Structure 1
Amino acid sequence: MRLNYSILIKHLILQYLSVFCLSKDFDFFYFVLKWPGAYCDSKHSCCYPKTGKPATDFTIHGLWPEYKDGSYPSNCDPNSVFEKSQLSDLMTNLQKDWPSLSCPSSNGFRFWSHEWEKHGTCSESQIDQHDYFEAALNLKKKVNLLQILRVARIEPDDGFYSLDNIVRAIIKGIGHTPRIECNKDSHGNSQLYQIYFCMDSSGSEIIECLVPPKGRCDSKVQFPKF
């Protein structure tokens, strides 16, 4: 009898936590763009998607709900699974702008499923699955990051560039401060890897970050070829 009571209490706690996660609205999104040259030029293996090598451009990593205290929700609704049938009109752009570079080579469904189930389900109070992916694709069009850097003469040519100059160029082009994330190549060089932008909770407008952006980069970073 005591065992059954214990199980019931655990079940009620888990149910409460699930409802709490679904009901607690997030504060903003991180919209994260990834440089494929830095992903592939590292100790991690890299495989082009089944559609072929992506264009030489930043690609989407994700659209992630965040709280202003620095924490974030995840896996908020286990009953809301990725449905590729809902995204048929977006598929061409998903393959172009949101490809998977992980191995083995894939069609991207596993990557998108992971992003939706871990992050997207926590935005369902604001946008549904189709609108979630469409919002990220629209942001990618709005943030023409490679062109912004090229205007500042910052090119993916394996050269090393001042981190401050990269940030200033993006602020000039976007109007808001990004978060820069670097990774290391096989020689230990710090290289430009991911750029984070803060978005409002509708996923439509870039805002100044509620959580101060923090990066892990050297003062000079390499912008690798792709």
Structure 2
Amino acid sequence: MIIKQLLVFAAAVMLASLVVSVNGSNFAFYKLSLTWPNSVCKITTCKTPIPTYFTIHGLWPTFGNDIPVPPYNPTSNKCNPNPTSPDDIVGELAPIKGELDKKWPNLWVRKTNVDFWKIQWQHHGMCSDYPRDPLDYFKDTLNLAQSKRFDPFKALGVQPSDQTPHLLHTLLENAYKNFGAYPQITCSMPKKGILLLKEIRFCLKRTKKTPPSVVQNCPTNVGDRCTNPLTDYVWLRATPTIFGPHNVTSDLLAST
């Protein structure tokens, strides 16, 4: 009887492990991360022309404690069985390559768009709910990012400006009112005392269906150089070149 019980227990453990393997990582939600190029291109050398709209950084599986799911690794993080290799996604993305080049470009000079997509797939797509379907993963991300629902300007309630910084708390409250949930806002600091709004990240619950569509509050509302919503003033610059002879002093004053 004891041996029989042990065999039943072992079978149950094996079945549970298979379920985990099939379902992938036990993550809780996705982050749709959108980048404001003018903020990034102040701290790094970008290709020209610099986009005048938010571009896609990625769609990232994230644990409930707001820690990103680590990249796929067949030894240490086999989150899904036999996901599509990064080197094999290029051909599959051919039908939407034009859209990806426009909306999901690599901004940095030293990397190609394809390099960027491969990295995003390895770091996030392979451990998502699309492990063997890169076309749908990238297509669904494109559709989310291009929908009016996830329009950062509409959510934040502001337009790019070279004259007016915004209290971070106000932007978060605007997003809660206009979008229905608190996003995460990250910042860069090209110069001491200057905070630029670098990314807005919308959080979506993981459900049994794809694409994710149920919005939720992001567990952490600020990141990178943004630290305190009640005191941080951030710029959403209309131009990438921000430090002219007439605005350095006003920038510093507005950020303190």
TM-score clears 0.5: yes
- Picking from 81, 94, 102, the partner of 1:96 is 102
Aligned to 2:93, the other structure's residue is in SS state: helix
Q: Aligned with 2:69: secondary structure? A: coil
The change in CA–CA distance for 1:117 and 1:21 in structure 2 (over 3 A counts) is: farther
Q: Which amino acid aligns with 2:53?
A: D
**Match of 1:183, SS?**
strand
- Alignment-mate amino acid for residue 155 of structure 1: P
Distance in 2 between residues matched to 1:24 and 1:107, nearest whole Å: 29
Aligned equivalents of 2:154 and 2:55: distance in 1? Answer: 14
Task: Tell whether the 8 Å contact from 1:182 to 1:190 is kept in structure 2 after alignment.
Answer: yes
Deviation at 1:206, TM superposition (A): 4.2
How many pairs align?
201
Partner of 1:205: 213
CA distance in 1, matches of 2:109, 2:191: 18
The 8 Å contact of residues 130 and 136 in structure 2, kept in 1 or not, is answered as: no
Task: Call closer, same or farther: CA 1:127–1:200 in 2, change over 3 Å.
Answer: farther
Aligned pair 1:24/2:25, yes or no?
A: yes
Offset of residue 207 of structure 1: 1.6
Structure-2 residue corresponding to 1:175: 180
Identity percentage over the alignment?
26
Unmatched segments (≥5 aa) in structure 1: 1-15
- Distance of 1:124 and 1:223 partners within structure 2: 33
Pairing 1:151-190 to 2, within 5 Å after superposition: 152-190=157-195
Per the TM alignment, residue 77 of structure 1 is displaced from its structure 2 partner at its CA by 5.1
**Which of 113, 116, 119 is the matching residue for 1:111?**
116
**Counterpart mapping for 1:50-69 below 5 A:** 52-69=48-65
Gaps of 5+ in 2: 1-16, 75-82, 240-256
SS at match of 1:29: strand
User: Are 2:70 and 1:74 aligned?
Assistant: yes
**Contact in 2 for aligned 1:77/1:121 (Cα 8 Å):** no
> What is the rounded CA distance, in whole Å, between the counterparts of 1:211 and 1:95 in structure 2?
31
Q: Which amino acid in the other structure matches residue 116 of structure 1?
A: W
Letter in 2 for 1:40: C
Is 1:224 equivalent to 2:237 in the alignment?
yes
**Larger Cα-atom Rg:** 2
Q: Which has the higher contact order (CA 8 A, sep 6+)?
A: 1
Q: Quick one: distance in 1 between partners of 2:22 and 2:234?
A: 38
- TM-score, reference length from structure 2: 0.69
Amino acid at match of 1:225: A
